[in-house]
Amino acid sequence: MAKRKKPYDDPFNYLDNFFIQDPNFSSMFNSLLKELYNNLDKLSKDTPMIYGVNVKISKDGVPMVEPFGNVKSLPNGTKITEEREPLVDVINKDGEITVIAELPGVSKEDIKISASRTSISIYAKNSETGRDYAKVVKLPAAVEPDSATAKYNNGVLEINIKKGSIEGKIHNIKVD
């Protein structure tokens, strides 16, 4: 007899259940949509509205929903910002952390990155295309800011940084 799969053995089955059954996700998403529809006439007509979510499942099996874009849901209403929050992924390896950010429409000269022991700040501004990005990424472990390297190719920024201790200062990173 074939061994029956558990529902959480298939990540797509788990995600389907998460989107359909998780009241927090449904509530958050419905609240944002309602707020947007109620305030469409007040929002800027010149600034595009970009909103998305990145869903990850932690090692403990807990779903994590991280929004990105330029639509911010605030207690006093919805706000459209000029700067977009880029889609970011953080990969925690044995001795290194890799941060990957999608920054389409900017050149590497437009990108400014700084790192502290616990976070990385990414800023990009392109006056020609109007693509502005800003994001502070909290890191899952302490790092050595001086060890950071960055590469930018085809709209994708990759930052590699070695893990380290908590003490230290902020370091600016050159993009190659």
The second-level CATH assignment, the architecture, of 86-176 is: Sandwich (2.60)
pLDDT digits (tens, 9 = 90+) for 29-48: 777 777 767 766 665 566 67
Which has more pLDDT, 19 or 66? 66
Q: Is 152:160 a contact under the CB 8 Å cutoff?
A: no
Chain segment 75-100, per-residue pLDDT in tens: 676 777 778 888 899 999 889 999 99
Whether residue 27 has pLDDT greater than 90:
no
- Spatial distance between the Cα atoms of 117 and 163, rounded to a whole number of angstroms: 9
The Cα 27–Cα 44 span in angstroms is 25
CATH 2.60.40.790 boundaries in the chain: 86-176
Exposure on the CB side of residue 127, measured as CA atoms within 13 A: 0
